[in-house]
Structure 1
Amino acid sequence: MLNTILPILIFAALALAAVGAGRRVRLWRQGRPSPVPLLKGLAALPRRYLVDLHHVVARDKVMSNTHVATAGGFVAAAVLMILVHGLGLANPVLGALLLAASACMFVGSLFVARRRRDPPARLSRGPWMRLPKSLMAFSLGVFLITLPTVGILPPDAGSWILALVLAAVVVWGLAEMVVGMTWGGPMKHAFAGALHLAFHRRPERFSSKAGGEGRSTGLKALDLENEATPLGVETPSDFTWNQLLGFDACVQCGRCEAVCPAFAAGQPLNPKKLIQDMVVGLAGGSDAGYAGSPYPGKPVGEHHGNPHGPIVARQGTALVDAETLWSCTTCRACVEECPMMIEHVDAIVDMRRHLTLEHGNTPGKGAEVLDNLIATDNPGGFDPGSRLHWAADLNLPRMADLGQVDVLLWLGDGAFDMRNQRTLRALVKVLRAAEVDFAVLGDEERDSGDVARRLGDEATFQSLARRNIATLSRYRFQRIVTCDPHSFHVLGNEYSELGGHYAVQHHSTFIAELYDAGRLAFSPWKGGSVTYHDPCYLGRYNGEYEAPRRVLEALGIQVAEMERSGFRSRCCGGGGGAPIIDIPGERRIPDMRMNDVKETGAELVAVGCPQCTAMLEGVVDASAEVRDIAELVADALVARPAAAAPRRSADKTTAEEVI
């Protein structure tokens, strides 16, 4: 009986799964075309899964081991089950391997059950609460029906064993674990997730070596010269098909929710809920079935949509409220934590582009800032000719006079801010102490376009970028150095699509190189305790965590690290145009960051970004002073010996060798 019924049930489940897979693919293909190398992506899938995905999953060691046991056991058990019980290739070796795989899966499912007994708030409940039982049913059922194959039970024991496990392994186990992968349910992420890794719209994110070294953070440019190109995303079907695939891969683990600064501040954004809303729009329906944390202050069940309907309605309800999109600081904490490597920020900016370019619906002071950028090339609306007024006494060298230098100092729009002018003056002092051959563009410099692009105004961004690129093309320099991580990121990572290819460095990286080369000398630090705040656009966007700390170490400072530091640093709240839009919440993001500083007991927080400086200094009753790394270095400068030896290891490139 067992040998007769099992193959029928197994192949029936596989057939249903195949039908579901076709249906699922049709849902994804509603999106816009996106060319991907299909065979190359499939060939890269094992490495992307085993290395890149598990590089993120392994941050939680218990759940990483649980996933290895459960997922690895399931894949092995499913393949072996088809061979042994589906195709009848029963022999003691295959049977023993199947027993081992199903036992491994069962052990993993016990840890899943323990996790689900009292799940943290970030985990979705609903259908996910039955997942441990489904895992146990499948693994235990497969184990029991395989016992006769290896001779532990007599062959004729199959008839009564089948009666015991039929409901569990076939009706429950196969239905949830195999059919559910393509028709919907907790296991849907396994099918969609695998294909998402293979056909990811940012294949460059995946590493070429162990450790997850790949990085791709620049926004994709719109082809504004092609009238057929949609100006942003209005409906779910306006996303590319592999973006829709990525949304469908969400495992609802809530890691993005746990690190989102807007969600923590009580603003109406939850990145997990946003992705699930896109899944609702992909298939059509409402969010009533969502079983996770809602957007703060917004009940579940009031939003609905379909693949070709608006995501954000100008009147009435749709999938998402506009203020949800405008709450994002674009800090990429959600993207950094996502084990499925979903690109939340790309999706949010795509939807902002439609609101801004098609409807001009940029709230707060957004419209005023965009108008200023168009009229004066800077977001504050200042006279472009006043960009260097703060440096009237510094006699800064200009590119227009020199034509060629080693370092182009990019000032950024902090040049119009009195507080950031102190940082710029300090940086100039450091460069001169190190005898760096540098110059500035002066009045020729325009805003980099970062704010315009994050607010969705791709047209203004490209206009600014192209004019900056035209200006830079007239001069020769080895590298661009800036104290603004937003300009650093845009110049280095987003101008290239428009023809601007530059070597760009953050000032902390350059200062570290100058020190290693023996071109700077410092007096010992005599101040109090110091912590360091990692800027999002320097750290998560560009992977620079060590250079600022090396500079602080060179100053004799032992950094008291905040709990959320490095790639898990909490955003200051200053990115993505958030201070301009100013969506209200229960608390302010910079206040939360200053509380992180307070917990370290530090008297001073070192920063490396003018926006971080502004946001943190704006905290009322702050417990610590805020100073840029350049200011700390400038204060500690002493005359260096005439023939100072490079302070570096043999495998490091010095500033002298580069310049």
Structure 2
Amino acid sequence: MLNTLLPLLLFAALGLAVLGALRRVRMWRQGRPSRVELLKGLLAMPRRYMVDLHHVVARDRYMANTHVATAGGFVLAAVLAILVHGFGLHNRLLGYALLVATALMFGGALFVYRRRLNPPARLSRGPWMRLPKSLLVFSASFFIATLPVAGILPEGTGGWVLVALLGLGVLWGVSELFFGMTWGGPMKHAFAGALHLAWHRRAERFGGGRSTGLKPLDLQDPSAPLGVEKPRDFTWNQLLGFDACVQCGKCEAACPAFAAGQPLNPKKLIQDMVVGLAGGTDAKFAGSPYPGKPLGEHGGNPHQPIVDGLVDADTLWSCTTCRACVEECPMMIEHVDAIVDMRRHLTLEKGATPNKGAEVLDNLIATDNPGGFAPGGRMNWAADLDLEVLGEVHGTDVLLWVGDGAFDMRNQRTLRAFVKVLRAANVGFAVLGLEERDSGDVARRLGDEATFQQLARRNIRTLAQYRFTRIVTCDPHSFHVLKNEYGALGGHYQVQHHSSFIAELIAAGRLDLAPHKGASVTYHDPCYLGRYNGEYEAPRQVLRALGIEVREMARSGFRSRCCGGGGGAPITDIPGKQRIPDMRMQDIRETAAEVVAVGCPQCTAMLEGVVEPRPQIKDLAELVADALREATVASTPVASQPEPAQVDP
């Protein structure tokens, strides 16, 4: 009887799964076109799953091992079950292989069940609570049904009662794991996730690559949408990526805005986009809501505006664009891209940038700096330094990109310290002087793509006039934009953060440094240097060269907590229960360090904005400048042979 029942159940579930897959693909295809290599992506998907995805999953050894056993066992068991029980290939070797696969799956499912007994707050509940039971029932049912095939039990053992029980178990299992994979439910992520890895909008992330620069809007195409207003305005593979969310909540646990009680939860944001994809409300969401916003009050569909439907605007403006959510996501979903895309619509189409946003954007247009300072004062900080200006010398080794810290008295101390270090190492360098414009980082993160592109193109035209080898800057935001986002507009440069440049100078023996004495030091990783550009070691090399043993915070490296200064967050200023920099300062206080080493003017400003008593904040350049032996400070830079900047025609 089982030989008749099992094929019917298996092929019925598979048929419904295929219908569900077609339905799901139609839902994704509501989005805008996106160029992907369909076949190449499918062929690359297994490696991306086994290597890239598991590189992230492996950070949690418990779940990594559980996932290998459960998912690996399920895939193998499903294929073998179709062969053995679907097509009737009652081969003893295949039977034993199926027993091993189902046993492996059962073992993994036990660990899933154990984790769900008292799940962490970040995990969604609801339908996810039945998943361990479905996994156990699927594996146990096929294990028992396969014992006769393997020759362990004689055919027909147990009678109709066992057949009925096994039939119900198989029906439950295949309904959840086959049928539910494409129609909805906890296993939906397996189908959508595999295709998401194949057709990811940032394929360059795989194979050890890095891709963090925002993608530009085509402002010359009048038919192209200015950002995302409705779910269907996302590209189809973005919608596919949202549907791949496994609701593990790792993004939620990493999000500084959520921790601060601001109305953002990146996991729920992605699930809201899934609701918008299919239509409905968030009433059945089984995870943590946005702080201060109850469930059941938001909904929409692919053709309705997202803001004030699926989400409120302050949810989008709470994001600091720190990429902690993206870094933690085991499905490699791009939360920040989605948020900035929606901000672009609010800013460019609605003019709805909150609080000081509109004023800052007006300042950037009128004065080329967010503070609205007179452009002629950009070099006042260096009035007594006799710096070479690129417009006068036309070529140099190092172009020092000053950034908007030039208008901030606190950051001027960092710039002056770095100039001292450059001169001590006899580095040939120059500045753009009054020709330098804002890099456009703030405008782009606030969604004003038009102002960003205007500023960027002006800077690219300016840089094209001169010869230099590389750009060095103390500002990770400018570093990131120049290095990773100007290229799409035609400007390709070798760009370094001052921490890696100083590390090079120290390694080359060009700086004579006295050992650091006294105060204990911890280091705060800037998001735009670390998570955006993978630079964690150079600042620590510099500190070690000073004889400093860094007291690492619990959240450091790729899990560093944001200072709260990125993404225009201090400008939009969405309130929460506490301030993000106060939270970061508490992380710092737990180390008992007396000095916080930083490498970003935004981080300096945010951390120094915390009320005292608190540790002293010092940039890496200041620490190095303080450690210079006076005899090493040279007044005449070494001549160099600069190379021209690369600019696309």
TM-score range, shorter chain: over 0.9
Match of 1:83 in 2: 83
1:493 partner amino acid? N
Match of 2:496 in 1: 505
1:351-362 counterparts in 2 under 5 A? Answer: 351-362=342-353
Select the residue among 582, 586, 611 that pairs with 1:591: 582
1:35-46 counterparts in 2 under 5 A? Answer: 35-46=35-46
Cα distance in 2 between the residues matched to 1:95 and 1:475: 72
2:9–2:170 Cα contact (<8 Å) kept: no
SS at match of 1:157: coil
Match of 1:646 in 2: none
Cα distance in 2 between the residues matched to 1:100 and 1:240: 42
| Residue 639 (structure 1) shift | 5.3
Cα distance in 2 between the residues matched to 1:109 and 1:197: 24
Cα distance in 1 between the residues matched to 2:391 and 2:191: 57
1:374-393 counterparts in 2 under 5 A? Answer: 374-393=365-384
Unaligned runs of 5+ in 1: 208-212, 643-654
1:138–1:174 Cα contact (<8 Å) kept: yes
Cα distance change on mapping 1:552 and 1:656 into 2, 3 Å: farther
1:148–1:158 Cα contact (<8 Å) kept: no
1:131 partner amino acid? L
1:54–1:339 Cα contact (<8 Å) kept: yes
SS at match of 1:288: coil
Match of 1:163 in 2: 164
2:67–2:108 Cα contact (<8 Å) kept: yes
2:5–2:167 Cα contact (<8 Å) kept: no
Match of 2:646 in 1: none
Once the two structures are superposed, what CA deviation does each residue of 1:134-168 show, in whole Å capped at 9, x if it has no partner?
A: 00010001101000001111112275332221111
Select the residue among 298, 302, 306 that pairs with 2:301: 306
Check if 1:125 corresponds to 2:116: no
1:403 partner amino acid? H
Select the residue among 365, 375, 380 that pairs with 2:356: 365
Match of 1:109 in 2: 109
Cα distance change on mapping 1:656 and 1:186 into 2, 3 Å: farther
Cα distance in 1 between the residues matched to 2:146 and 2:503: 62
Match of 1:251 in 2: 246
1:308 partner amino acid? H
Match of 1:242 in 2: 237
SS at match of 2:576: coil
1:90-239 counterparts in 2 under 5 A? Answer: 90-157=90-157, 159-160=159-160, 161-170=162-171, 172-207=172-207, 213-239=208-234
Count of matched residue positions in the alignment of Structure 1 and Structure 2: 637
Select the residue among 268, 274, 278 that pairs with 1:279: 274
Select the residue among 524, 530, 549 that pairs with 1:539: 530
Match of 1:464 in 2: 455
Aligned alpha-carbon RMSD (Å):
1.4
Cα distance in 2 between the residues matched to 1:177 and 1:394: 69
> What is the aligned-residue identity percentage?
77
| Residue 458 (structure 1) shift | 0.1
Select the residue among 436, 440, 455 that pairs with 2:431: 440
Cα distance in 1 between the residues matched to 2:12 and 2:613: 65
| Residue 657 (structure 1) shift | 12
| Residue 640 (structure 1) shift | 6.9
SS at match of 2:226: coil
Cα distance in 2 between the residues matched to 1:491 and 1:481: 10
2:255–2:325 Cα contact (<8 Å) kept: yes
Cα distance in 1 between the residues matched to 2:158 and 2:98: 16
1:2–1:158 Cα contact (<8 Å) kept: no
SS at match of 2:148: helix
Cα distance change on mapping 1:286 and 1:657 into 2, 3 Å: same
Cα distance in 1 between the residues matched to 2:450 and 2:631: 48
1:594–1:622 Cα contact (<8 Å) kept: no
2:38 partner amino acid? L
Match of 1:520 in 2: 511
SS at match of 2:584: helix
When the two structures are superposed, what TM-score results if normalisation uses the length of structure 2?
Answer: 0.97
Unaligned runs of 5+ in 2: 634-638, 644-649
1:2–1:159 Cα contact (<8 Å) kept: no
Match of 2:413 in 1: 422
1:219 partner amino acid? L
Match of 1:651 in 2: none
Check if 1:332 corresponds to 2:323: yes
2:279 partner amino acid? G
2:398–2:472 Cα contact (<8 Å) kept: yes
Once the two structures are superposed, what CA deviation does each residue of 1:384-442 show, in whole Å capped at 9, x if it has no partner?
A: 11100111000110000111100000000000000000000000000000000000001
Match of 1:347 in 2: 338
Once the two structures are superposed, what CA deviation does each residue of 1:184-233 show, in whole Å capped at 9, x if it has no partner?
A: 000000000000000000000001xxxxx221000000000000110000
Check if 1:261 corresponds to 2:252: no
Cα distance in 1 between the residues matched to 2:153 and 2:631: 83
SS at match of 1:480: strand
When the two structures are superposed, what TM-score results if normalisation uses the length of structure 1?
Answer: 0.96
Cα distance in 2 between the residues matched to 1:77 and 1:59: 26
| Residue 622 (structure 1) shift | 4.1
1:110 partner amino acid? L
Cα distance in 2 between the residues matched to 1:5 and 1:610: 68
1:520–1:640 Cα contact (<8 Å) kept: no
